[in-house]
């Protein structure tokens, strides 16, 4: 963010280095909590927020290995990680009793793909914002050395498309594994639970993005704005739904406590 | 004229614009179904919301927004969505077949095939959902140690059958509870309960499995889930003349802590009498200084704290141990045998496997689409 603010291109690589350094204590914290509780951290506000922060940061770092020119995505991912870690650390760290139905490998699959989907949502949002800023600057004829280093607009547009498609696949696996888990735990694969219904809404919104792009040729700015809208929909299932509705996703019922 | 009309109709249904419209309509419907309290699933929540927002509640009721998922307009959208999905898949499949036959675009073939696979998978998902809606059965029955219940309509305490379940019918298998075990956590509280369930055909054991929360017994599509479990003392109430007024197993509900797991039954109206019982059951009762101090969860020396009410007034409150009597108003209450019971949720859902198969096909298609994405 400093490199973007002060237009110092050479600082950009420090963003990735600092992200990597930040991932070390975060990973250590996750492992320590895992050992302490005997399960992967996903229960209660501290575990939910820190593990999502860890997942998003790890996803960002993995993306850097394959797409090194996407360092600027850190300007969205890093503040989101900081925010989630902060909320997690400042909330209750109490260890709750986990129902027996939560001890199944289907849950691990469900959670793992949830992290991947949210990671790809953050990256696609970062790319969408970059697209909008870069296109606006180009229209004005203004230059920014950092944004100049970004791939061309058509390439960014395609990367948004790829990350949205990746997010759609990950969300799909998350929903399907959740359905299998529910069937094994309670004998029903779908219960119109607010969180699961909202996950389906998120999936449909992502599907809508792809259909609009393929069938109606929505590309460029419209596509970028739609990717940002899709992120808002996904984030609402994370922060909004547990605030207003009772859910069988007990580990998310933290905002009412 | 007829052919022309059918052609137009087909073009309408296979239209991608229609698909976009219907996906958007589904998104809006689901959103309304989540944001507006649904009277069908949560009547209490809807009543509260309606009392706070009477104007909006009237509008919601007028437009069936309080029962989105069972409304006529949602059924209509879903129907159009399914027809559109089928038509698009057919069209895409026919195109893919033509390309395959002509050996053109072979290089990009996985990318061409991907939407067909995704949409075909979604059709299977919808068919699985329809199979569940048409043929699913869910029931609840309790099984005590030493008894065999049969998987028949009259044996269920609660039963819900889909409209066409009658075509399949109940299996009539015998279901028995062989053994029950409480697994304690490191603090000594009950962590979960294991029930050893047997499925019988006459006297032949077809399957035997230990069921626990999240781990059902499944035999030929019939799934038995452990819903709850507990103890059932055989309670006897005797009148002043020594006549037996009531004798029956009293099912104690298991209520997990904190601070500890308790077994109790409140407001039990004793059949054939005017008495109402509040009972807390201790599987292994130890009394020190007139207070119950035990916190064991396995059967040892069982005892009960009993309050007996008549016409809303408490007649007696006391402790009774196995083989002892609690006297009240010339009557007496005692209990002898104690058995364990398991409450089973029995589910038969032929649509589940179809739906999961459809999910796998869809995900394979999505992975194919993602891997074959071409650059800008």
With beta carbons under 8 A apart, name residues in chain A contacting B369: 165
Q: Which of A26, A34, A28, A78 is nearest to A50 (CA)?
A: A26
Q: Kindly report the three-state secondary structure assignment for every residue of chain A.
A: CHHHHCCCHHHHHHHHHHHHHHHHHHHHHHHHHHHHHCCCCCCHHHHHHHHHHHHHHHHHHHHHHHCHHHHHHHHHHHHHHHHHHHHHHHCCCCCCCCCHHHCCHHHHHHHHHHHHHHHHHHHHHHHHHHHHHHHHHHHHCCCCHHHHHCCCHHHHHHHHHHHHHHHHHHHHHHHHHHHHHHHHHHCCCCCCCHHHHHHHHHHHHHHHHHHHHHHHCCCHHHHHHHHHHHHHHHHHHHHHHHHHCCCCCHHHCCCCC
Helix/strand/coil for B153: helix
B375 pLDDT higher than 60: no
The residue written with tokens 């002060």 in the block is A6
Kindly list the strands in the beta sheet with B204-211, ordered across the sheet, starting from the edge strand earlier in the chain.
Answer: B148-150, B174-184, B190-201, B204-211
A170 and A215 Cβ atoms separated by less than 8 Å: no
Q: Taking all residues of chain B, what is their mean pLDDT, rounded to a whole number?
A: 89
With beta carbons under 8 A apart, name residues in chain B contacting A190: 129
Q: Which of B172, B170, B220, B217 is nearest to B198 (CA)?
A: B217
Instruction: Please give the average per-residue pLDDT across B29-53, as a whole number.
Output: 86
Scanning A22-61 for CB atoms below 8 A from B yields none
| HSE, side-chain direction, 13 A CA sphere, residue B54 | 1
pLDDT one-digit tens code per residue, A161-176: 989 998 999 999 999 9
Bond before B308 cis per omega within 30 degrees: no
Candidates B14, B18, B34: best to mutate against A (most CBs of A within 10 A) is B34
Give the residue on A whose Cα is nearest the Cα of B214.
A185
**Residues contacting B58, CB < 8 A, separation 6+:** none
Residue B142 corresponds to which tokens in the numbers above? Answer: 């309790």
Interface of B with A (CB under 8 A): 16-17, 19-20, 23-24, 26-27, 30-31, 33-34, 38, 41, 69, 129, 132, 138, 191-192, 212-216, 223, 225, 345, 347, 349, 352, 355-356, 359-360, 362-363, 366-367, 369-370, 373, 375-376
DSSP B375: P
pLDDT one-digit tens code per residue, B285-321: 888 877 877 767 778 889 999 999 998 899 999 999 9
| Contact between chains at A197 and B212 (C-beta distance less than 8 A) | no
Q: Does A172 contact B at CB distance below 8 Å?
A: yes
Q: Does A173 contact B at CB distance below 8 Å?
A: yes
| Contact between chains at A158 and B376 (C-beta distance less than 8 A) | yes
Q: Which among B23, B129, B373 has the least Cβ separation from residue A165?
A: B373
Q: What percent of chain B is predicted at pLDDT more than 70?
A: 96
B370 pLDDT band, cuts 50/70/90, is confident
Burial, A139: exposed, middle or buried (Cβ in 10 Å; 0-12, 13-18, 19+)? exposed
| Contact between chains at A166 and B370 (C-beta distance less than 8 A) | yes
**Residues contacting B268, CB < 8 A, separation 6+:** B250, B276, B277, B278, B279
- A71 or B267: which leads in pLDDT: B267
Q: Does A161 contact B at CB distance below 8 Å?
A: yes
A54 and A110 Cβ atoms separated by less than 8 Å: no
The strand pair at B190-201 and B174-184 is best described as antiparallel
Which pLDDT score, from 0 to 100, does residue A152 have? Answer: 86
- Please report which residue ranges of chain B form alpha helices under DSSP H: 2-13, 16-35, 43-52, 54-62, 72-102, 109-135, 350-371
Which pLDDT score, from 0 to 100, does residue A257 have? Answer: 47
Helix/strand/coil for B367: helix
* pTM (two decimals): 0.83
B209 and B201 Cβ atoms separated by less than 8 Å: no
B151 and B175 Cβ atoms separated by less than 8 Å: yes
User: What residue ranges of chain A have pLDDT lower than 70?
Assistant: 4, 7, 9, 96-97, 145-147, 246-257
């Amino acid at each position: 963010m400093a490199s973007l603010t002060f237009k110092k291109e050479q600082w950009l690589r420090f963003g990735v280095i600092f992200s990597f350094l930040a991932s070390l204590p975060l990973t250590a914290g996750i492992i320590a909590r895992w050992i302490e509780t005997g399960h992967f951290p996903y229960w209660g506000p501290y575990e939910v927020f820190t593990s999502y922060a860890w997942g998003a940061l790890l996803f960002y770092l993995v993306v850097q290995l394959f797409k090194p020119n996407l360092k600027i995505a850190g300007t969205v991912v890093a503040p989101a990680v900081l925010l989630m870690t902060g909320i997690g650390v400042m909330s209750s760290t109490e260890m709750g009793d986990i129902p027996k139905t939560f001890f199944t490998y289907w849950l691990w699959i469900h959670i793992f793909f949830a992290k991947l989907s949210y990671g790809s949502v953050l990256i696609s949002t970062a790319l969408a914002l970059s697209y909008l800023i870069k296109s606006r600057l180009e229209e004005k004829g203004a230059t920014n050395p950092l944004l100049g280093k970004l791939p061309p607009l058509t390439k960014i547009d395609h990367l948004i498309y790829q990350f949205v498609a990746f997010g759609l696949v990950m969300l799909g696996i998350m929903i399907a594994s959740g359905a299998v888990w529910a069937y094994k735990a309670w004998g029903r694969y779908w219960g119109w639970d607010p969180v699961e219904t909202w996950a389906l809404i998120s999936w449909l919104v992502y599907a809508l993005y792809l259909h609009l792009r393929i069938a109606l040729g929505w590309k460029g700015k419209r596509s970028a704005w739609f990717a940002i809208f899709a992120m808002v929909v996904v984030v609402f299932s994370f922060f909004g739904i547990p605030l207003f509705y009772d859910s069988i996703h007990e580990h998310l019922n933290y905002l009412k406590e | 004229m007829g052919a022309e009309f059918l052609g137009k109709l087909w073009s309408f249904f296979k239209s991608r614009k229609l698909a976009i419209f219907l996906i958007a309509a589904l998104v809006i419907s689901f959103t309304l179904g989540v944001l507006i309290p649904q009277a069908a699933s949560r009547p209490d929540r809807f009543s509260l919301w309606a009392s706070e927002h009477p104007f909006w509640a009237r509008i919601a009721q007028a437009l069936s927004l309080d029962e989105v998922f069972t409304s006529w307009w949602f059924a209509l959208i879903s129907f159009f969505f399914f027809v559109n999905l089928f038509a698009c898949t057919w069209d895409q499949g026919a195109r893919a077949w033509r390309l395959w036959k002509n050996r053109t675009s072979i290089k990009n073939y996985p990318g061409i095939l991907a939407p067909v696979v995704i949409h075909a998978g979604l059709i299977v998902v919808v068919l699985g959902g329809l199979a569940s809606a048409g043929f699913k059965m869910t029931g609840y029955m309790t099984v005590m140690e030493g008894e065999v219940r049969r998987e028949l309509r009259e044996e269920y305490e609660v039963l819900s059958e889909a409209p066409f379940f009658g075509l399949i019918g109940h299996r009539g298998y015998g279901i028995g509870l062989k053994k029950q075990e409480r697994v304690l956590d490191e603090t000594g509280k009950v962590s979960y309960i294991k029930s050893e369930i047997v499925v019988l055909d006459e006297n032949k054991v077809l399957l035997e499995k230990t069921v626990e929360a999240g781990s059902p017994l499944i035999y030929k599509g019939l799934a038995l889930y452990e819903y709850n479990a507990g103890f059932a003392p055989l309670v006897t109430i005797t009148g002043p003349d020594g006549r037996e007024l009531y004798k029956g197993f009293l099912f104690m509900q298991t209520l997990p802590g904190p601070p500890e797991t308790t077994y109790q039954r409140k407001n039990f109206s004793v059949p054939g009498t005017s008495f109402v019982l509040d009972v807390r059951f201790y599987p292994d009762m130890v009394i020190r200084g007139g207070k119950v101090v035990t916190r064991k969860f396995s059967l040892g020396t069982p005892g009960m704290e009993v309050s007996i009410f008549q016409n809303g007034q408490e007649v007696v409150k006391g402790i009774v141990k196995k083989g002892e009597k609690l006297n009240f108003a010339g009557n007496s209450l005692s209990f002898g045998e104690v058995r364990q019971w398991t409450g089973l949720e029995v589910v038969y859902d032929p649509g589940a496997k179809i739906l999961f198969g459809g999910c796998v096909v869809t995900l394979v298609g999505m992975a194919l689409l993602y891997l074959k994405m071409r650059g800008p």
